Amino acid sequence: MTKFDQDRAKKLAAEAALPYVEADTIVGVGTGSTVNYFIDALATIKHQIAGAVSSSEASTERLKQHGIPVYDLNGVADLAIYVDGADEINGQLEMIKGGGAALTREKIVAAVANKVICIADVSKQVDVLGQFPLPVEVIPMARSYVAREIVKLGGDPAYREGVVTDNGNVILDVYSLHIEKPVELESKLNQITGVVTNGLFAARPADIALLSDGSQVFTLERRK
Ligand SMILES: O=C[C@H](O)[C@H](O)[C@H](O)COP(=O)(O)O
């Protein structure tokens, strides 16, 4: 797939999420290049919505540039939908996220939302998660300890140099994982002292995936 096709696919997937936005509600907004298309599409109906909650400083800035009010999640008790991209998504709509280092805030907003909608181009679709290195957000002083613990779990962690998350932490990208049991691994990694969270969205996967190849959009719904 060429770069041009991929961009078109991201845009089509993003625009396909608009019909899920309910009037007068606050919309949960993720992070990344696909979500940027969603934010631009959301701007076309901004007078019909109450505003947004955002999963990153970058998305907040883009939303505000469009004149969409951004609210503190602490003041939002009910969030109908959360729309976000993915680095990988499998058939159960479990995902790897965090390529842009926004995983922790993304996971928090997803936890609050009634419905999680993944928007992506079809290249993100995989049978088994783990080809994309799994991001883990770590408290800076725990970086080496956490890396050693990850090696014990069979992973190959690499420090993402120069990247500081919106929460002031660092990222370890974990290679060499063939993730047969995503829920189990998500929980194991979160139990390592010093880990803030990891980029597996398996305990709380997407409910709907809108995946595009650049000419059409395929809708997948999670079997419950
Ligand atoms: O931290 C970043 C997020 O998890 C993104 O949603 C993910 O990396 C997908 O980004 P993109 O739409 O740019 O491929």
| Residue 11 three-state SS | helix
* Residue 221 known to be catalytic: no
Q: Is 87 within any annotated ligand binding site?
A: yes
Quote the ligand 1 centre to 103 CA distance (angstroms).
9
Domain ranges in the chain are 3-125+203-221, 134-199
Task: Give me the phi and psi of 60, to 5 degrees please.
Answer: -60, -45
CA torsion, ordered 128, 117, 170, 136, to nearest 10 deg: -30
Topology adopted by domain 3-125+203-221: Rossmann fold (3.40.50)
Residue pair 195/138 in contact by the 8 Å Cβ criterion: yes
CATH of range 134-199; options 3.40.50.1000, 3.40.50.2000, 3.90.76.10, 3.30.70.260: 3.30.70.260
In this prediction, residue 224 carries a pLDDT of 79
pLDDT, one tens digit for every residue, the chain (224 residues): 455 699 999 999 999 999 999 999 999 999 999 999 999 999 999 999 999 999 999 999 999 999 999 999 999 998 999 999 999 999 999 999 999 999 999 999 999 999 999 999 999 999 999 999 999 999 999 999 999 999 999 999 999 999 999 999 999 999 999 899 999 999 999 999 999 999 999 999 999 999 999 999 999 999 87
Q: What is the ipTM of this complex?
A: 0.98
Nearest Cα residue to 55 out of 177, 134, 166: 166
pTM exceeding the 0.90 threshold for the entire prediction: yes
Closest protein CA for atom 7 of ligand 1: 86
- Give strand ranges (E) for 122-182: 134-138, 156-159, 170-175
